[in-house]
A = this chain, B = another copy of it.
Amino acid sequence: METKTAEMASSLIEDEVFLAFSTYATLMVLKTLLMGPLTAYFRFSRRAFANAEDVWGKSEEEKKKKLRTHPDVERIRRCHQNDLENVVPFVLVGLLYTLTGPDPATARLYFRAFAASRLCHTLAYVLPLPQPSRALSWATGMGVTLCMAYRLLSHKMLL
């Protein structure tokens, strides 16, 4: 039984589209995950905390002053939220899309376009760059997910 699974898993992992999907999905999830430590860094450097227990070694009054929002922290948090809203759908739809056996060249083009668009989006959000750089990079990423969803639903549907 285990041999069969190992065989299947290895055949999945050796499939070109699945391997590319696995690589890009992992990189995109890592990118999203690393917004967490970045938020923590900005909270410390801007001295803007969300929880009383996060402020160290101060009198109660000074602690309360540090419980505030800061524009730089909020910007990182919006970027993180946008990643959650876009990267998670990409990975979920992308996994199902990969299993429909798409054309490898098209699939890898989609994955690369998505990864590039999200890197641009993060730069445009964090630096920040003037619009419409952020809007265009966001739209490109969403376009890729919509294309994969279209292929999925037009390939075969069961309601």
Query: In the complex, which residues of chain B have a beta carbon less than 8 angstroms from the beta carbon of A95?
Result: 95
- Of B24, B75, B142, which contacts A36 at CB under 8 A? B142
Taking residues whose C-beta sits less than 8 angstroms from the other chain, chain A's interface range is 35 or more
Q: Is A118 an interface residue (CB 8 A)?
A: no
Query: In the complex, which residues of chain B have a beta carbon less than 8 angstroms from the beta carbon of A91?
Result: 92
Contact across chains for B100 and A9 when beta carbons are under 8 A apart: yes
- Majority SS of interface residues in chain A? helix
Give A130-159 as 1s and 0s: 1 = Cβ < 8 Å from B's Cβ atoms. 110010001000100110010011011111
| Closest chain B residue, CB of each to CB of A159 | B23
Query: In the complex, which residues of chain B have a beta carbon less than 8 angstroms from the beta carbon of A153?
Result: 23, 26-27
Contact across chains for B5 and A14 when beta carbons are under 8 A apart: yes
| Nearest CB of B to A88, in Å | 6
Can you list 20 pairs linking A and B with CB atoms under 8 Å apart? A9-B98, A9-B101, A14-B156, A19-B156, A23-B157, A23-B159, A26-B93, A26-B149, A29-B93, A33-B85, A36-B138, A36-B142, A53-B128, A53-B129, A53-B130, A56-B131, A84-B84, A84-B88, A88-B88, A112-B159
**Chain A interface (Cβ < 8 Å from any Cβ of B):** 1-2, 4-6, 8-16, 18-20, 22-27, 29-30, 32-33, 35-37, 50-51, 53-54, 56, 75, 78, 80, 84-86, 88-89, 91-93, 95-96, 98-101, 108, 112, 128-131, 134, 138, 142, 145-146, 149, 152-153, 155-159
